[in-house]
Amino acid sequence: MMLNFNKRIREIPLKNSSLSGVINSSQINKIIQFESSLERDFIYLLEFDIYVDKYLEQPLEISYNDTIGNSKKYIPDFAISYLDDRPNEIIEIKHCSSLQEKQEELIPKFRAAEQFCEENNSIFKVITEEHIRKDKGIELENYKFLSRYRNYFNNLNSNNSVLFTQNSDHLVLYNRMFEFKKCTVKYLIDQCTSDFEKKAELLFLTWCLVATNFFSIDFTKKINTNSIIWYNE
């Protein structure tokens, strides 16, 4: 069975009991639904992973029998394909507490997902807050910070805004960065202008360029104006 990344099979309704909503994906140019804050945070990780080719929420149904033999359908949270040689992944997002509290209910679901993946050259993973908010916590906060710049940059109407891609300020930043190769955000801006208001504009544009991968940065460290950036050739 080939994974279909075109359309989710289940719509996520708005809920009162947990955070649900949508993210406008810059990575795959689609509206992505989530039904918990943990799923939302995982989407941020996917959005800034340069090796992700495409992903889909609520991607497929997997048939299984529950603990008393009843026929059921299990819908994992995400399917992911990569640009490198990694196989597709089927992902379930769960809090550690839910894994413990619902262990008996989840075991047959997860076994069915593992079997599906074995038969379809894929990998099944259960990902918890330990990975998303602890192991990847610094990256997550950086991605959340930069997402506002990426979304703004991608949604610009170049006919109505002075901040579109090829304006003179971008060219100044490009040229200076090409000259320096590597420098801090602050140094780059200081070398472009001494005007306080202009510095604020250039800082905004610099974060846009970082968010859209024109400039590179170390996401494993908390980013700020003293962070080192470099030209992404």
Q: What is the rounded distance in angstroms from the CA atom of residue 198 to the CA atom of residue 119?
A: 57
Does the residue 69 lie in any domain?
Answer: yes
Does the residue 120 lie in any domain?
Answer: yes
How much is the pTM? Answer: 0.90
Same domain as 158, residue 105 = no
Domain range for 68 is 21-134
Same domain as 123, residue 164 = no
Same domain as 161, residue 103 = no
Q: What is the rounded distance in angstroms from the CA atom of residue 165 to the CA atom of residue 211?
A: 13
Q: What is the rounded distance in angstroms from the CA atom of residue 183 to the CA atom of residue 124?
A: 41
- pLDDT bin (cut points 50, 70, 90) of residue 1 is low
Same domain as 143, residue 67 = no
Same domain as 164, residue 90 = no
Q: What percent of the chain has pLDDT over 70?
A: 91
Segment 206-223 shows an average pLDDT of 95
Q: Which of 81, 105, 134 is the last residue of a domain?
A: 134
Same domain as 170, residue 120 = no
Does the residue 1 lie in any domain?
Answer: no
Q: Is 32 helix (H, G, I), strand (E, B) or coil?
A: strand
Does the residue 72 lie in any domain?
Answer: yes
Are 121 and 98 in contact by the 8 Å Cβ rule? The answer is: no
Are 146 and 210 in contact by the 8 Å Cβ rule? The answer is: yes
Same domain as 191, residue 105 = no
The per-residue pLDDT for range 92-148, each reduced to its tens digit, is 999 999 999 999 999 999 999 999 999 999 999 999 999 999 999 999 999 999 999
